[in-house]
A and B are shown apart, each in its own frame.
Chain A
Protein backbone atom coordinates (compact mmCIF):
# COMPACT_ATOMS: atom_id res chain seq x y z
CA UNK A 1 0.00 0.00 0.00
CA UNK A 2 2.64 2.42 -1.00
CA UNK A 3 0.90 4.53 -3.59
CA UNK A 4 -2.56 5.95 -4.10
CA UNK A 5 -4.05 6.00 -7.56
CA UNK A 6 -6.17 8.84 -8.81
CA UNK A 7 -9.90 8.13 -9.05
CA UNK A 8 -12.06 9.79 -11.70
CA UNK A 9 -15.68 9.86 -10.56
CA UNK A 10 -18.14 10.56 -13.38
CA UNK A 11 -21.44 11.41 -11.72
CA UNK A 12 -24.02 14.07 -12.48
CA UNK A 13 -26.00 14.01 -9.23
CA UNK A 14 -24.35 16.30 -6.62
CA UNK A 15 -25.84 14.23 -3.77
CA UNK A 16 -24.35 11.05 -5.15
CA UNK A 17 -21.02 12.84 -5.57
CA UNK A 18 -21.30 13.98 -1.97
CA UNK A 19 -22.14 10.48 -0.70
CA UNK A 20 -19.40 8.92 -2.81
CA UNK A 21 -16.80 11.37 -1.51
CA UNK A 22 -18.01 10.79 2.06
CA UNK A 23 -17.58 7.07 1.56
CA UNK A 24 -14.12 7.42 0.00
CA UNK A 25 -13.10 9.76 2.77
CA UNK A 26 -13.52 7.00 5.32
CA UNK A 27 -10.39 5.39 3.87
CA UNK A 28 -8.79 8.80 3.23
CA UNK A 29 -9.06 8.24 -0.49
CA UNK A 30 -10.97 11.43 -1.25
CA UNK A 31 -7.97 13.67 -1.85
CA UNK A 32 -7.06 12.00 -5.08
CA UNK A 33 -10.55 12.11 -6.54
CA UNK A 34 -11.45 14.10 -9.63
CA UNK A 35 -15.16 14.60 -10.31
CA UNK A 36 -16.58 15.01 -13.79
CA UNK A 37 -20.23 16.06 -13.84
CA UNK A 38 -21.18 14.65 -17.23
CA UNK A 39 -19.84 12.52 -20.06
CA UNK A 40 -18.39 15.45 -21.97
CA UNK A 41 -16.47 16.67 -18.95
CA UNK A 42 -15.16 13.16 -18.36
CA UNK A 43 -13.86 12.96 -21.93
CA UNK A 44 -12.42 16.49 -21.64
CA UNK A 45 -10.51 15.34 -18.59
CA UNK A 46 -9.27 12.15 -20.23
CA UNK A 47 -8.17 13.96 -23.41
CA UNK A 48 -6.68 16.92 -21.39
CA UNK A 49 -8.70 19.53 -23.22
CA UNK A 50 -10.88 22.55 -22.38
CA UNK A 51 -10.52 23.27 -18.68
CA UNK A 52 -8.26 20.27 -18.16
CA UNK A 53 -5.83 21.35 -20.89
CA UNK A 54 -3.06 22.11 -18.46
CA UNK A 55 -3.26 19.03 -16.27
CA UNK A 56 -0.37 16.52 -16.13
CA UNK A 57 -0.85 13.91 -18.81
CA UNK A 58 -1.47 10.87 -16.67
CA UNK A 59 -4.42 8.55 -16.77
CA UNK A 60 -6.52 7.96 -13.65
CA UNK A 61 -5.99 4.63 -11.87
CA UNK A 62 -9.68 3.90 -12.12
CA UNK A 63 -12.85 5.52 -13.45
CA UNK A 64 -16.10 5.18 -11.46
CA UNK A 65 -18.64 5.74 -14.18
CA UNK A 66 -22.37 6.40 -13.83
CA UNK A 67 -24.43 5.31 -16.84
CA UNK A 68 -27.19 7.89 -16.88
CA UNK A 69 -25.44 11.15 -17.61
CA UNK A 70 -26.44 14.33 -19.40
CA UNK A 71 -25.08 14.99 -22.92
CA UNK A 72 -22.75 12.00 -23.44
CA UNK A 73 -23.96 8.98 -21.44
CA UNK A 74 -21.83 6.49 -19.57
CA UNK A 75 -21.90 3.79 -22.24
CA UNK A 76 -20.74 6.30 -24.85
CA UNK A 77 -17.91 7.43 -22.58
CA UNK A 78 -16.95 3.78 -22.06
CA UNK A 79 -16.99 3.17 -25.80
CA UNK A 80 -14.78 6.23 -26.41
CA UNK A 81 -12.30 5.06 -23.77
CA UNK A 82 -12.13 1.50 -25.12
CA UNK A 83 -11.63 2.61 -28.70
CA UNK A 84 -8.77 4.99 -27.89
CA UNK A 85 -5.29 3.49 -27.97
CA UNK A 86 -4.03 5.74 -25.16
CA UNK A 87 -7.03 5.28 -22.83
CA UNK A 88 -8.20 1.73 -23.44
CA UNK A 89 -6.22 0.20 -20.58
CA UNK A 90 -7.74 2.39 -17.85
CA UNK A 91 -9.81 0.24 -15.48
CA UNK A 92 -13.45 1.33 -15.63
CA UNK A 93 -16.06 0.46 -12.99
CA UNK A 94 -19.67 1.17 -13.81
CA UNK A 95 -21.41 2.44 -10.68
CA UNK A 96 -25.08 2.83 -11.45
CA UNK A 97 -28.64 2.65 -10.10
CA UNK A 98 -29.61 0.36 -12.94
CA UNK A 99 -30.40 -3.26 -12.22
CA UNK A 100 -31.29 -3.74 -15.86
CA UNK A 101 -29.73 -6.68 -17.59
CA UNK A 102 -29.32 -4.84 -20.87
CA UNK A 103 -27.22 -2.12 -19.22
CA UNK A 104 -25.05 -4.78 -17.67
CA UNK A 105 -24.74 -6.68 -20.95
CA UNK A 106 -23.90 -3.51 -22.88
CA UNK A 107 -21.26 -2.50 -20.32
CA UNK A 108 -19.55 -5.87 -20.34
CA UNK A 109 -19.65 -6.03 -24.12
CA UNK A 110 -17.84 -2.70 -24.20
CA UNK A 111 -15.20 -4.17 -21.89
CA UNK A 112 -16.00 -2.77 -18.47
CA UNK A 113 -13.87 -4.11 -15.59
CA UNK A 114 -16.67 -4.25 -13.04
CA UNK A 115 -20.37 -3.48 -12.80
CA UNK A 116 -21.68 -2.32 -9.43
CA UNK A 117 -25.31 -1.48 -8.68
CA UNK A 118 -25.50 1.33 -6.13
CA UNK A 119 -27.20 -0.20 -3.10
CA UNK A 120 -30.17 1.72 -1.68
CA UNK A 121 -28.99 0.95 1.83
CA UNK A 122 -26.50 3.60 2.88
CA UNK A 123 -24.17 1.26 4.74
CA UNK A 124 -24.00 -1.04 1.80
CA UNK A 125 -23.45 1.92 -0.51
CA UNK A 126 -20.63 3.29 1.62
CA UNK A 127 -19.08 -0.15 1.90
CA UNK A 128 -19.31 -0.75 -1.83
CA UNK A 129 -17.69 2.58 -2.70
CA UNK A 130 -15.04 2.17 -0.01
CA UNK A 131 -14.15 -1.29 -1.21
CA UNK A 132 -14.06 -0.14 -4.80
CA UNK A 133 -11.80 2.78 -3.94
CA UNK A 134 -9.58 0.60 -1.82
CA UNK A 135 -9.23 -2.08 -4.42
CA UNK A 136 -8.72 0.00 -7.53
CA UNK A 137 -6.80 2.94 -6.09
CA UNK A 138 -4.62 1.05 -3.63
CA UNK A 139 -4.50 -2.72 -4.05
CA UNK A 140 -4.68 -2.99 -7.81
CA UNK A 141 -1.60 -2.25 -9.87
CA UNK A 142 -2.86 0.16 -12.54
CA UNK A 143 -1.44 0.10 -16.06
CA UNK A 144 1.74 2.15 -16.60
CA UNK A 145 1.16 5.86 -17.08
CA UNK A 146 -1.44 6.19 -14.33
CA UNK A 147 -1.44 8.99 -11.79
CA UNK A 148 -0.17 7.83 -8.40
CA UNK A 149 0.74 9.59 -5.24
CA UNK A 150 3.45 7.91 -3.22
CA UNK A 151 2.35 7.77 0.38
Chain B
Protein backbone atom coordinates (compact mmCIF):
# COMPACT_ATOMS: atom_id res chain seq x y z
CA UNK B 1 0.00 0.00 0.00
CA UNK B 2 2.74 2.41 1.01
CA UNK B 3 4.63 1.59 -2.18
CA UNK B 4 1.51 2.14 -4.24
CA UNK B 5 0.90 5.48 -2.52
CA UNK B 6 4.45 6.85 -2.96
CA UNK B 7 4.65 5.56 -6.52
CA UNK B 8 1.49 7.15 -7.78
CA UNK B 9 0.95 10.11 -5.53
CA UNK B 10 0.96 13.26 -7.65
CA UNK B 11 2.96 16.17 -6.28
CA UNK B 12 0.28 18.47 -4.87
CA UNK B 13 1.60 22.01 -4.72
CA UNK B 14 1.50 23.87 -8.15
CA UNK B 15 4.68 25.74 -7.29
CA UNK B 16 6.51 22.48 -6.70
CA UNK B 17 5.06 20.95 -9.86
CA UNK B 18 6.11 23.78 -12.16
CA UNK B 19 9.40 24.10 -10.25
CA UNK B 20 9.97 20.42 -10.90
CA UNK B 21 9.38 21.02 -14.64
CA UNK B 22 11.87 23.87 -14.80
CA UNK B 23 14.48 22.15 -12.67
CA UNK B 24 14.14 18.90 -14.59
CA UNK B 25 14.59 20.62 -17.92
CA UNK B 26 17.63 22.47 -16.55
CA UNK B 27 19.17 19.29 -15.18
CA UNK B 28 18.45 17.34 -18.37
CA UNK B 29 19.98 20.05 -20.50
CA UNK B 30 23.02 20.13 -18.26
CA UNK B 31 23.27 16.36 -18.40
CA UNK B 32 22.91 16.36 -22.19
CA UNK B 33 25.60 19.01 -22.49
CA UNK B 34 27.85 17.01 -20.19
CA UNK B 35 27.33 13.88 -22.22
CA UNK B 36 28.05 15.77 -25.43
CA UNK B 37 31.20 17.09 -23.78
CA UNK B 38 32.44 13.50 -23.57
CA UNK B 39 31.85 13.04 -27.31
CA UNK B 40 28.79 10.82 -27.05
CA UNK B 41 26.56 11.67 -29.99
CA UNK B 42 22.81 12.27 -30.31
CA UNK B 43 21.93 11.53 -26.72
CA UNK B 44 20.35 14.91 -25.98
CA UNK B 45 16.99 14.13 -27.59
CA UNK B 46 16.26 10.88 -25.66
CA UNK B 47 17.45 12.46 -22.39
CA UNK B 48 15.13 15.41 -22.78
CA UNK B 49 12.18 13.20 -23.83
CA UNK B 50 12.84 11.00 -20.81
CA UNK B 51 12.76 14.01 -18.51
CA UNK B 52 9.52 15.25 -20.07
CA UNK B 53 8.06 11.82 -19.38
CA UNK B 54 9.16 12.01 -15.74
CA UNK B 55 7.71 15.52 -15.33
CA UNK B 56 4.38 14.41 -16.79
CA UNK B 57 4.45 11.43 -14.46
CA UNK B 58 5.04 13.31 -11.26
CA UNK B 59 3.76 16.81 -11.95
CA UNK B 60 0.88 16.42 -14.42
CA UNK B 61 -0.10 17.97 -17.76
CA UNK B 62 0.51 21.69 -17.11
CA UNK B 63 4.12 21.30 -16.01
CA UNK B 64 4.58 18.83 -18.88
CA UNK B 65 3.56 21.51 -21.40
CA UNK B 66 5.95 23.92 -19.72
CA UNK B 67 8.69 21.28 -19.83
CA UNK B 68 8.06 20.68 -23.54
CA UNK B 69 8.20 24.40 -24.31
CA UNK B 70 11.29 24.98 -22.19
CA UNK B 71 13.13 21.95 -23.48
CA UNK B 72 12.36 22.84 -27.11
CA UNK B 73 13.89 26.26 -26.40
CA UNK B 74 16.97 24.81 -24.73
CA UNK B 75 17.22 22.16 -27.43
CA UNK B 76 17.05 24.86 -30.07
CA UNK B 77 19.57 26.94 -28.21
CA UNK B 78 22.12 24.29 -27.24
CA UNK B 79 21.78 21.46 -29.68
CA UNK B 80 20.18 22.62 -32.94
CA UNK B 81 22.38 24.28 -35.57
CA UNK B 82 23.22 27.13 -35.43
CA UNK B 83 24.21 26.66 -31.81
CA UNK B 84 23.57 29.23 -29.08
CA UNK B 85 20.80 31.08 -30.93
CA UNK B 86 17.05 30.63 -30.97
CA UNK B 87 17.17 30.81 -34.73
CA UNK B 88 15.50 27.92 -36.46
CA UNK B 89 16.72 27.21 -39.94
CA UNK B 90 14.30 25.78 -42.48
CA UNK B 91 16.33 22.59 -42.64
CA UNK B 92 15.95 22.00 -38.93
CA UNK B 93 12.20 22.45 -38.82
CA UNK B 94 11.30 18.75 -39.44
CA UNK B 95 13.90 17.65 -36.86
CA UNK B 96 12.55 20.17 -34.43
CA UNK B 97 8.94 19.20 -35.14
CA UNK B 98 9.71 15.53 -34.58
CA UNK B 99 11.32 16.44 -31.26
CA UNK B 100 8.24 18.40 -30.16
CA UNK B 101 5.91 15.67 -31.42
CA UNK B 102 7.77 12.88 -29.66
CA UNK B 103 7.83 14.99 -26.49
CA UNK B 104 4.07 15.55 -26.81
CA UNK B 105 3.42 11.84 -27.43
CA UNK B 106 5.45 10.83 -24.37
CA UNK B 107 3.71 13.51 -22.34
CA UNK B 108 0.27 12.38 -23.47
CA UNK B 109 1.09 8.72 -22.81
CA UNK B 110 2.18 9.66 -19.34
CA UNK B 111 -0.95 11.71 -18.86
CA UNK B 112 -3.12 8.81 -19.92
CA UNK B 113 -1.22 6.51 -17.59
CA UNK B 114 -1.66 9.03 -14.83
CA UNK B 115 -5.40 9.26 -15.48
CA UNK B 116 -5.80 5.49 -15.45
CA UNK B 117 -3.91 5.31 -12.21
CA UNK B 118 -6.06 8.05 -10.72
CA UNK B 119 -9.10 6.00 -11.63
CA UNK B 120 -7.55 2.91 -10.13
CA UNK B 121 -6.80 4.80 -6.97
CA UNK B 122 -10.39 6.04 -6.81
CA UNK B 123 -11.64 2.52 -7.34
CA UNK B 124 -9.31 1.28 -4.63
CA UNK B 125 -10.56 3.97 -2.25
CA UNK B 126 -14.13 3.05 -3.03
CA UNK B 127 -13.35 -0.61 -2.40
CA UNK B 128 -11.73 0.29 0.87
CA UNK B 129 -14.77 2.31 1.89
CA UNK B 130 -17.00 -0.57 0.97
CA UNK B 131 -14.79 -2.95 2.88
CA UNK B 132 -14.98 -0.77 5.97
CA UNK B 133 -18.74 -0.49 5.58
CA UNK B 134 -18.99 -4.22 5.26
CA UNK B 135 -16.81 -4.77 8.28
CA UNK B 136 -19.09 -2.45 10.21
CA UNK B 137 -22.12 -4.33 8.98
CA UNK B 138 -20.49 -7.63 9.93
CA UNK B 139 -19.80 -6.30 13.39
CA UNK B 140 -23.41 -5.19 13.68
CA UNK B 141 -24.68 -8.55 12.48
CA UNK B 142 -22.42 -10.32 14.95
CA UNK B 143 -23.74 -8.11 17.71
CA UNK B 144 -27.34 -8.80 16.73
CA UNK B 145 -26.61 -12.50 16.51
CA UNK B 146 -25.13 -12.42 19.95
CA UNK B 147 -28.21 -10.64 21.29
CA UNK B 148 -30.38 -13.20 19.54
CA UNK B 149 -28.47 -16.05 21.17
CA UNK B 150 -28.91 -14.43 24.56
CA UNK B 151 -32.60 -13.94 23.87
CA UNK B 152 -32.99 -17.56 22.79
CA UNK B 153 -31.26 -18.67 25.98
CA UNK B 154 -33.64 -16.50 28.01
CA UNK B 155 -36.59 -18.01 26.19
CA UNK B 156 -35.32 -21.51 26.82
CA UNK B 157 -34.95 -20.67 30.50
CA UNK B 158 -38.45 -19.19 30.63
CA UNK B 159 -39.82 -22.25 28.88
CA UNK B 160 -38.04 -24.52 31.35
CA UNK B 161 -39.56 -22.57 34.20
CA UNK B 162 -43.01 -22.91 32.68
CA UNK B 163 -42.45 -26.59 32.22
CA UNK B 164 -41.41 -27.10 35.81
CA UNK B 165 -44.42 -25.03 36.82
CA UNK B 166 -46.73 -27.32 34.88
CA UNK B 167 -44.87 -30.28 36.32
CA UNK B 168 -45.38 -29.21 39.91
CA UNK B 169 -49.01 -28.39 39.17
CA UNK B 170 -49.37 -31.90 37.89
CA UNK B 171 -47.68 -33.37 40.96
CA UNK B 172 -48.52 -31.14 43.85
CA UNK B 173 -51.92 -29.70 43.08
CA UNK B 174 -53.53 -33.05 42.48
CA UNK B 175 -52.36 -34.64 45.73
CA UNK B 176 -54.34 -32.41 48.16
CA UNK B 177 -57.31 -32.67 45.85
CA UNK B 178 -57.15 -36.42 46.02
CA UNK B 179 -57.08 -36.22 49.79
CA UNK B 180 -60.02 -33.83 49.81
CA UNK B 181 -62.08 -36.23 47.75
CA UNK B 182 -60.77 -39.31 49.56
CA UNK B 183 -61.51 -38.10 53.06
CA UNK B 184 -64.88 -36.65 52.03
CA UNK B 185 -65.83 -40.06 50.71
CA UNK B 186 -64.56 -41.73 53.87
CA UNK B 187 -66.56 -39.24 55.92
CA UNK B 188 -69.61 -39.96 53.80
CA UNK B 189 -69.17 -43.65 54.44
CA UNK B 190 -68.50 -43.40 58.16
CA UNK B 191 -70.86 -40.63 59.18
CA UNK B 192 -73.75 -41.02 56.78
CA UNK B 193 -75.91 -42.25 59.66
CA UNK B 194 -75.28 -39.23 61.84
CA UNK B 195 -75.61 -36.62 59.07
CA UNK B 196 -78.98 -35.14 58.19
CA UNK B 197 -80.03 -34.43 54.60
CA UNK B 198 -78.47 -30.98 54.64
CA UNK B 199 -75.16 -32.33 55.92
CA UNK B 200 -75.22 -35.02 53.22
CA UNK B 201 -75.84 -32.37 50.58
CA UNK B 202 -72.94 -30.23 51.82
CA UNK B 203 -70.66 -33.22 51.67
CA UNK B 204 -71.88 -33.99 48.17
CA UNK B 205 -71.16 -30.40 47.11
CA UNK B 206 -67.63 -30.62 48.50
CA UNK B 207 -67.08 -33.79 46.51
CA UNK B 208 -68.46 -32.36 43.29
CA UNK B 209 -66.42 -29.18 43.64
CA UNK B 210 -63.24 -31.15 44.24
CA UNK B 211 -63.92 -33.36 41.22
CA UNK B 212 -64.58 -30.33 39.09
CA UNK B 213 -61.30 -28.83 40.21
CA UNK B 214 -59.60 -32.08 39.28
CA UNK B 215 -61.06 -31.79 35.79
CA UNK B 216 -59.93 -28.18 35.52
CA UNK B 217 -56.39 -29.09 36.50
CA UNK B 218 -56.33 -31.99 34.04
CA UNK B 219 -57.65 -29.76 31.24
CA UNK B 220 -55.15 -27.04 32.04
CA UNK B 221 -52.30 -29.54 32.03
CA UNK B 222 -53.45 -30.99 28.73
CA UNK B 223 -53.67 -27.46 27.35
CA UNK B 224 -50.16 -26.57 28.48
CA UNK B 225 -48.90 -29.83 27.04
CA UNK B 226 -50.00 -28.70 23.55
CA UNK B 227 -47.38 -25.98 23.71
CA UNK B 228 -44.69 -28.26 25.05
CA UNK B 229 -44.90 -31.40 22.94
CA UNK B 230 -42.90 -31.55 19.76
CA UNK B 231 -45.24 -31.73 16.83
CA UNK B 232 -44.80 -34.38 14.18
CA UNK B 233 -46.31 -33.07 10.99
CA UNK B 234 -47.41 -34.92 7.90
CA UNK B 235 -50.11 -34.67 5.28
CA UNK B 236 -53.48 -35.37 6.86
CA UNK B 237 -56.63 -36.63 5.19
CA UNK B 238 -59.15 -34.31 6.83
CA UNK B 239 -62.11 -36.07 5.25
CA UNK B 240 -61.18 -39.32 6.93
CA UNK B 241 -60.35 -37.61 10.22
CA UNK B 242 -63.65 -35.72 10.37
CA UNK B 243 -65.64 -38.84 9.51
CA UNK B 244 -63.97 -40.79 12.30
CA UNK B 245 -64.46 -38.03 14.85
CA UNK B 246 -68.08 -37.48 13.85
CA UNK B 247 -68.92 -41.15 14.28
CA UNK B 248 -67.08 -41.28 17.65
CA UNK B 249 -68.83 -38.21 18.99
CA UNK B 250 -72.13 -39.41 17.50
CA UNK B 251 -71.71 -42.70 19.41
CA UNK B 252 -71.51 -40.77 22.67
CA UNK B 253 -74.76 -38.97 21.87
CA UNK B 254 -76.72 -41.92 20.56
CA UNK B 255 -79.99 -40.82 22.16
CA UNK B 256 -79.86 -37.55 20.24
CA UNK B 257 -81.21 -36.93 16.74
CA UNK B 258 -78.38 -35.42 14.76
CA UNK B 259 -78.25 -34.87 11.02
CA UNK B 260 -74.61 -34.91 9.89
CA UNK B 261 -73.52 -33.30 6.66
CA UNK B 262 -69.86 -33.70 5.78
CA UNK B 263 -68.74 -32.01 2.55
CA UNK B 264 -65.65 -32.76 0.50
CA UNK B 265 -62.65 -31.79 2.61
CA UNK B 266 -59.18 -31.18 1.16
CA UNK B 267 -56.02 -32.69 2.62
CA UNK B 268 -53.93 -30.48 4.87
CA UNK B 269 -50.50 -30.52 6.48
CA UNK B 270 -50.13 -30.71 10.24
CA UNK B 271 -49.82 -32.83 13.37
CA UNK B 272 -52.51 -35.53 13.05
CA UNK B 273 -53.10 -36.00 16.78
CA UNK B 274 -53.35 -32.25 17.44
CA UNK B 275 -55.66 -31.75 14.45
CA UNK B 276 -57.85 -34.56 15.72
CA UNK B 277 -58.10 -32.65 19.01
CA UNK B 278 -59.26 -29.56 17.07
CA UNK B 279 -61.97 -31.48 15.23
CA UNK B 280 -63.05 -33.35 18.39
CA UNK B 281 -63.42 -30.08 20.29
CA UNK B 282 -65.38 -28.30 17.57
CA UNK B 283 -67.62 -31.25 16.77
CA UNK B 284 -68.28 -31.98 20.48
CA UNK B 285 -69.15 -28.33 20.98
CA UNK B 286 -71.55 -28.49 18.06
CA UNK B 287 -73.21 -31.55 19.60
CA UNK B 288 -73.27 -30.00 23.05
CA UNK B 289 -74.74 -26.64 22.07
CA UNK B 290 -77.45 -28.20 19.94
CA UNK B 291 -78.63 -30.14 22.99
CA UNK B 292 -81.84 -28.14 23.18
CA UNK B 293 -82.80 -28.84 19.55
CA UNK B 294 -85.11 -31.71 18.69
CA UNK B 295 -83.14 -32.22 15.47
CA UNK B 296 -79.55 -31.05 15.56
CA UNK B 297 -77.99 -30.19 12.21
CA UNK B 298 -74.19 -30.23 12.07
CA UNK B 299 -72.35 -29.43 8.87
CA UNK B 300 -68.62 -29.66 8.23
CA UNK B 301 -67.22 -28.38 4.95
CA UNK B 302 -64.50 -26.48 3.19
CA UNK B 303 -64.56 -22.83 2.15
CA UNK B 304 -63.31 -22.38 -1.42
CA UNK B 305 -61.27 -19.55 -2.83
CA UNK B 306 -58.23 -19.42 -0.59
CA UNK B 307 -55.06 -19.93 -2.60
CA UNK B 308 -52.35 -20.87 -0.10
CA UNK B 309 -54.42 -22.19 2.81
CA UNK B 310 -57.41 -24.41 3.22
CA UNK B 311 -60.35 -23.22 5.30
CA UNK B 312 -62.73 -25.56 7.07
CA UNK B 313 -65.98 -24.71 8.83
CA UNK B 314 -68.09 -26.48 11.45
CA UNK B 315 -71.67 -25.20 11.51
CA UNK B 316 -74.48 -26.07 13.92
CA UNK B 317 -78.04 -24.98 14.51
CA UNK B 318 -77.57 -24.72 18.27
CA UNK B 319 -78.01 -21.94 20.78
CA UNK B 320 -75.23 -19.79 19.27
CA UNK B 321 -74.01 -16.70 21.10
CA UNK B 322 -74.04 -12.94 20.80
CA UNK B 323 -71.31 -11.68 18.45
CA UNK B 324 -70.32 -8.96 20.94
CA UNK B 325 -68.67 -11.67 23.07
CA UNK B 326 -66.80 -13.25 20.18
CA UNK B 327 -63.42 -11.97 21.45
CA UNK B 328 -63.83 -13.85 24.71
CA UNK B 329 -64.62 -17.08 22.98
CA UNK B 330 -61.09 -18.42 22.56
CA UNK B 331 -59.70 -17.49 26.00
CA UNK B 332 -58.76 -20.12 28.58
CA UNK B 333 -61.64 -20.91 30.95
CA UNK B 334 -63.89 -18.40 29.18
CA UNK B 335 -67.48 -19.47 28.97
CA UNK B 336 -70.48 -17.81 27.39
CA UNK B 337 -73.01 -20.10 29.04
CA UNK B 338 -73.82 -20.83 32.64
CA UNK B 339 -72.50 -24.08 34.04
CA UNK B 340 -76.02 -25.38 34.67
CA UNK B 341 -76.97 -24.75 31.03
CA UNK B 342 -74.06 -26.50 29.38
CA UNK B 343 -71.30 -28.31 31.22
CA UNK B 344 -67.64 -27.82 30.43
CA UNK B 345 -64.50 -26.17 31.73
CA UNK B 346 -64.09 -23.62 28.95
CA UNK B 347 -60.81 -24.94 27.64
CA UNK B 348 -61.96 -26.51 24.36
CA UNK B 349 -61.89 -23.46 22.11
CA UNK B 350 -58.68 -22.20 23.75
CA UNK B 351 -57.15 -25.53 22.78
CA UNK B 352 -58.47 -25.18 19.22
CA UNK B 353 -57.09 -21.66 19.00
CA UNK B 354 -53.69 -22.70 20.29
CA UNK B 355 -53.34 -25.70 17.99
CA UNK B 356 -54.43 -23.80 14.87
CA UNK B 357 -52.05 -20.95 15.71
CA UNK B 358 -49.24 -23.43 16.15
CA UNK B 359 -49.96 -24.57 12.61
CA UNK B 360 -49.80 -20.99 11.35
CA UNK B 361 -53.56 -20.79 10.78
CA UNK B 362 -56.37 -18.62 12.11
CA UNK B 363 -59.66 -19.32 13.84
CA UNK B 364 -62.85 -17.26 13.76
CA UNK B 365 -66.47 -17.68 14.63
CA UNK B 366 -69.77 -16.36 13.36
CA UNK B 367 -72.97 -16.73 15.30
CA UNK B 368 -76.24 -15.21 16.38
CA UNK B 369 -78.01 -15.84 19.63
CA UNK B 370 -80.26 -18.88 19.29
CA UNK B 371 -79.48 -19.20 15.58
CA UNK B 372 -76.50 -21.49 15.55
CA UNK B 373 -72.78 -20.91 15.32
CA UNK B 374 -70.13 -21.46 12.64
CA UNK B 375 -66.45 -21.92 13.45
CA UNK B 376 -63.84 -21.43 10.74
CA UNK B 377 -60.20 -22.43 10.83
CA UNK B 378 -57.40 -22.33 8.27
CA UNK B 379 -54.55 -24.79 7.87
CA UNK B 380 -51.56 -25.22 5.56
CA UNK B 381 -52.24 -27.17 2.37
CA UNK B 382 -50.99 -30.72 2.01
CA UNK B 383 -47.44 -30.86 0.66
CA UNK B 384 -47.97 -33.94 -1.45
CA UNK B 385 -51.63 -35.03 -1.52
CA UNK B 386 -51.07 -37.75 -4.12
CA UNK B 387 -48.54 -39.50 -1.93
CA UNK B 388 -50.88 -39.36 1.04
CA UNK B 389 -53.66 -41.00 -0.96
CA UNK B 390 -51.23 -43.70 -2.04
CA UNK B 391 -50.32 -44.49 1.56
CA UNK B 392 -53.93 -45.17 2.46
CA UNK B 393 -54.98 -48.81 2.55
Interface of A toward B, CB cutoff 8 Å? 13, 15-16, 19, 22, 68, 96-100, 118-123, 125
Contacts and interface: CB of A to CB of B under 8 A. Distances in A.
Interface string B191-222: 00000000000000000001100100010010
B328 interface: no
Contacts of B221: 99
Given A15-B183, A19-B182, 20 more contacts: A13-B175, A16-B175, A19-B179, A22-B186, A97-B174, A97-B175, A98-B167, A98-B171, A99-B170, A99-B218, A100-B167, A118-B174, A118-B175, A120-B174, A120-B181, A120-B210, A120-B211, A120-B214, A122-B181, A125-B178
Contact of B185 (A100, A118, A123): A123
A15 B174 CA distance: 13
A120 B178 contact: yes
B214 A121 contact: yes
Nearest to B183: A15
B277 interface: no
Give me the 9 closest cross-chain CB pairs, A-B, nearest first.
A120-B214, A122-B185, A15-B179, A122-B182, A97-B174, A19-B182, A122-B181, A97-B171, A120-B178
A8 B182 CA distance: 22
B interface, by DSSP: helix, strand, loop or mixed? helix
A16 B171 CA distance: 13
B236 to A, nearest CB: 22
B170 A15 contact: no
Interface in B218-243: 218, 221
Nearest to A14: B179
A2 to B, nearest CB: 31
12 contacts: A13-B179, A16-B179, A19-B182, A19-B183, A96-B171, A98-B171, A99-B221, A118-B178, A120-B178, A120-B211, A122-B181, A122-B184
A9 to B, nearest CB: 15
Contacts of A100: 167, 170
A120 B170 contact: no
Nearest to A97: B174
Contacts of A22: 186
A91 to B, nearest CB: 24
A121 B211 contact: yes
Contacts of B177: 120
Interface in B138-177: 167, 170-172, 174-175, 177
Given A16-B175, A120-B211, A121-B214, A97 B181 contact: no
A19 B182 CA distance: 7
A122 B186 CA distance: 9
Contacts of A97: 170-172, 174-175, 178
